[in-house]
Amino acid sequence: MSTIASSDIAVALDPTRIPAHVAIIMDGNRRWARARGLPSIEGHRRGIGALRRITRIAGDVGVKALTVYGFSTENWRRDAREVSLLLDLCVYFARSELAELRRNNVRVRVIGAWEELPAISRKALAELQERTADRTGLLLSLAVNYSARAELERAVRGIAAEVQAGELAADAVDDACIAAHLYTCDLPDPDILIRPGGEHRLSNFLLYQVAYTELVMTDVYWPDFAKEHFIQALIDFQTRQRRFGGT
- The one catalytic residue among 8, 29, 75, 79: 75
Contacts of 15 (CB under 8 A, 6+ apart): 61, 62
Amino acid letter, residue 12: A
Q: Which of 55, 1, 6, 5 is nearest to 216 (CA)?
A: 1
Catalytic residue check, 60: no
Shortest CA distance to 61 belongs to which of 233, 242, 241, 185? 233
> Is residue 145 among the annotated active site residues?
no
Q: What is d(CA 87, CA 120) in angstroms, rounded to the nearest whole number?
A: 9
**Cβ 107 vs Cβ 139: under 8 Å:** yes
Catalytic residue among 8, 14, 27, 104: 27
Beta-carbon count within 10 A of 83 CB: 14
How far, in Å, CA of 181 to CA of 29, rounded?
32
Instruction: List active site positions.
Output: 27, 75
